[in-house]
Structure 1
């Protein structure tokens, strides 16, 4: 890996590894602590003016995956989000969008019992504008479309989770 590669890391979750119970949702039949993991990113492109963070489960049995967290307009000076930041303690200026639980905060893993292993894709997006030009109330799909259309770079850390 090049020393200039945009990366996302965490002391709480690891690529391809099972997440701790503390990152499980509290609701929908799940009883975790719903704590978002600590996340760190580095080597963003020089033109970056803000960041966005998404957490997505492509394995959810919905036909369209499941959005767990959507945060945009993270200031360019930020290089991390603290453990538990998903409860609303984000850097000033951040915007949160409604996830598929119907909340604007972090919603932890909660795959259906017996559905097998699900992947949770934590993605940091480097953006060329200070604010994502998405209207308030935009759906996760619209935000995702805009991020894919304008991102300078992105880095993903994929953790897993299952409920027997």
Structure 2
């Protein structure tokens, strides 16, 4: 499943895509609490050549109690071109990939499960100039603090879900 990433040509912006939905489109129920609640498949394009690792944060800014974190995953090798759907909810994965804690209080992915109305879900991809080599189980805030000086590019994919 792991293959070499598509390296960015000069001046090309890194992109985050999904074969499951278009940017701004509806997230299929399969990836939510109303379905199988498995992680969405992702494709990374134009990853900067100097990137050593990638990190992803998925959150919902429309949650009634403030931003709700659905996924924190990091130390993703920069040489892979994406993640398949259904990443196991384990602290450590193949290739040194680690997952943090979401706002459901669990490790790994927790799909959209809005109480009412349409919510936007932002999946943010960060290209980092180093491998973090930190412990699994970080919160979004902890990860953002750690990666701040190492971010060399970012990409966002936004999906919508309504119950």
Q: Do these two structures clear the TM 0.5 threshold for a shared fold by scoring above it? A: yes
CA contact (8 A) 2:72 2:99 kept: yes
1:46 to 38, 46, 49: 49
For residue 60 of structure 1, the aligned residue among 41, 58, 63 is 63
d(CA) in 1 for partners of 2:13, 2:126: 13
Give the distance between the partners of 1:20 and 1:135, measured in 2 at CA. 32
Match of 1:110? 113
**Structure 1 residues 106 and 86 mapped into 2: Cα distance closer, same or farther (>3 Å)?**
farther
Secondary structure at the counterpart of residue 122 of structure 1: strand
Contact 1:70 1:96 in 2 (8 A): yes
Partner of 1:162: 162
- When normalised by structure 2's length, the TM-score is 0.84
2:21 matches 1:13: yes
Residues 120-149 of structure 1: per-residue CA shift (max 9 Å, x gap): 1111110011116x5554322121233344
- The answer as to 2:155 corresponding to 1:147 is no
**Runs of 5+ unmatched residues, structure 2:** 1-9
C-alpha contact 1:75 1:94 (8 A) present in aligned 2? yes
TM-score normalised to structure 1 length: 0.84
Q: Say whether 1:24 aligns with 2:32.
A: yes
Contact 2:123 2:157 in 1 (8 A): yes
CA distance in 2, matches of 1:35, 1:44: 25
Task: Provide the aligned C-alpha RMSD in A.
Answer: 2.1
